[in-house]
Amino acid sequence: MKEHFENIHYSDFPRRRYKLFFYFHYLCRKFSKNMRKKIPSLVFGLLIALTRGYGSPQDTVNILKIDIKKEIGSTTWLYTQKGFDKAVSENFDGVLIHINTYGGEVLHADSIRSKILNSKLPVYVFIDNNAASAGALIAIACDKIYMREGATIGAATVVNQTGEEMPDKYQSYMRATMRATAEAHGQDTIINGQDTVIRWKRDPLIAEAMVDDRTVIPNLVDSGKTLTFTSKEALKHGYCDGIVGSVDEALKQALDGKNYKLTVFKPTKIDNIKGFFMSSVIQGLLIMLIIGGIYFELQTPGVGFPLAAAVVAAILYFAPLYIEGLAANWEILMFIIGLILLALEIFVIPGFGIAGISGIIFMVAGLVLSMVGNVVFDFDGVETNDLGQALLTALLSLTAGFGLTIYLSSKIGAKGAFSKVALNTALEKNKGYIGVSTVERELIGQRGIAYTILRPSGKVKIGNAVYDAVSENQNYIEKGTEIIVTRYETGQVYVEETH
């Protein structure tokens, strides 16, 4: 009988009751017949008490806490995503987001919002003072909102880095996103006598008013004011489920007093570094460095600093994406092939044609596809917003990189910092500098053929040697046409067709 009692497991809920019953039934048989009449009520009472007592370990709810206590960006999105993946893989019962932020990048906040709305686990949020702008979007996506006394939520107008409001197309997107997030929580049906009222759990119009100062809600917000709630106002209007003083109080309310075990998700230093380099701003700067470094390296003899800068920038761009499983080998190779094709078009093949266009397409495709989680050309799991952001980042960065490179090229040798990296000495004749006769000067009057098409510059072959040349009067000369050298000036051979 002792062995029978020791084999009872707390987790074996249905079987435990029968084992306890048989154990006490065995004890009952040891008592007298007169006492046996009083035993059943005592047994069942004891069984109920033991059942409740032993049931507490099984009722413990495991909650994973994710902190969002800084500006929302790529780093925040990265470790929030990892936190949710951990919650699912390790069978947590729910997630609590501890938020205190003034906002950040809308695109990354939208990714976090989507992660919350698509989560199969319940998600709670404790607003510890601030959930402004992008933080409000994240908070509204959660199943239950708890706020500290004096906390605020709202002010979700889209602004740029200087604090100025963005054009209406950005505000329109944010208005729709906030409305959709509020609507995702559904409606309540309230029956009062014979009256039935259907009411949003979180009014979408209120969510919109947090973005657009033109939205008017009678007795709540007037036109010209962007809505921000205090904790008491949020509680009154359905945007707060309770005013609490700590995470512990928030979870006690959310879980109706059940026992819980709280685990804090802590991102690693590597996650923070990866998140920093995966920021759209940093990625844009790295793309500009890659383009600029390669251009300046091709303009100078030998291998030097520009190429080293381009290689380091490429490593910093692709390495975090490769580690995260976003950038595949073929996507990186596509970018490299694009660079090679573009270099061939500029420095080897005269004019600009198929190789140059193909190079640009390959480069853009490699950069864009490396930023999104596609599987070869399967984009089923890729959010439209993520693809659009990647395309915009790549195109803007490439354009800015080419533009800045051309601008810096014209400034090298001028006044300022760039004067240190160029030779500015003028080789003037009155200072004793004289020209030295060159081999090309002896070519004047000699005949040859156009080695490539001259448009109007290209290459000519005279004897067994090939020279760079320019067509007189800027005329085009087809490949293979007989030419004659007419003059040699400023280090340049000039030719024309023979007649």
Q: How far apart are CA 496 and CA 476, in angstroms?
A: 9
**Residue 281, pLDDT score:** 76
Judge contact between 126 and 63, C-beta under 8 A.
Answer: no
- The parts of the chain modelled with pLDDT lower than 70 are 1-58, 161, 298-304, 324-326, 346-352, 373-376, 379-386, 408-440, 490
Give CA separation, 27 vs 16, 21, 22, 111, in Å: 17, 10, 9, 62
Q: How far apart are CA 316 and CA 303, in angstroms?
A: 20
Q: Domain extents for the chain? A: 2-58, 61-264, 269-418, 429-497
**Residue 49, pLDDT score:** 47
Length of the chain: 499
Which two structure tokens, joined as six digits, stand for 463? 């004897």
**Non-local CB neighbours of 498 within 8 Å, separated by 6+ positions:** 447, 482, 483, 484
Superfamily of domain 61-264: 2-enoyl-CoA Hydratase; Chain A, domain 1 (3.90.226.10)
Angle, CA 92 vertex, CA 86 and CA 96 arms, to 5°: 85
Q: How far apart are the first and last CA of the chain?
A: 121
Judge contact between 150 and 233, C-beta under 8 A.
Answer: no
Fold of the domain built from segment(s) 429-497 = OB fold (Dihydrolipoamide Acetyltransferase, E2P) (2.40.50)
- How big is the chain by its Cα radius of gyration, in Å? 36
**Residue 97, pLDDT score:** 96
477 three-state secondary structure: strand
**Residue 300, pLDDT score:** 62
